[in-house]
Structure 1
Amino acid sequence: MFTVGAVALNPGEATPARPSGNTRATGPAPGSIEALQARVTRLPKDPGGWAALGMAYVQQGRTTADPATYARAEKALRTSLTVQGKDNADAEIATGALAAARHDFPAALDWALRATTSDPYSASAQGVLADAYTQLGRYAEADAAVQKMTDLRPDAASLARASYAFELKGDTAEARDLMRRSLTAAATPGESAFAHAVLASLALQDGDTRGALTEAQTGLRAAPGDSALLEARARVHEALGDTAQAVADYQAAIAIAPLPHYLLGLGELEQSLGHRGQAEAQYAVLRAQDRIRETTGTTADTDAILFEGDHGSPERAVTLAEEALRARPFVAVHDAYAWALHRAGRDTEALAQADQALSLGTRSALYHYHRAAIQHALGHPDAARRDLNQALRQPGFHPLHADAARALLQRIDTTP
Structure 2
Amino acid sequence: MKPLILKGVRPYGEGDPTDVLVRDGFVAAIGEVADTADTADTAEVIEGHGAILLPGFVDLHTHLREPGREDTETIATGSAAAALGGYTAVFAMANTDPVADNAVVVEHVARRGREVGLVDVHPVGAVTVGLKGEKLAELGTMAKAGVRVFSDDGLCVHDPLVMRRALEYSKALDVVIAQHAEEPRLTVGAQAHEGEHAARLGLQGWPAAAEEAIVARDCLLAEQVDARLHVCHVSTAGTADVVGWAKARGTRVTAEVTPHHLLLTDDRLDTYDPVNKVNPPLRTARDVAGLRQALADGVIDCVATDHAPHAVQDKDCEWSAARPGMLGLQTALSVVVRTMVEPGLLDWRGVARVMSERPAAIAGLPDHGRPIAVGEPANLTLVDPDARWTVRGADFASIAANTPFEGMELPGRVVATLLRGRVTATGGRIPA
Q: Which has the higher helix share?
A: 1
Superposed pair shares fold, TM > 0.5? no
Q: Which has the higher strand share?
A: 2
Could you say which structure has the greater relative contact order, defined with CA pairs below 8 angstroms and 6 or more residues apart? 2
> TM-score when scaled to structure 1?
0.29
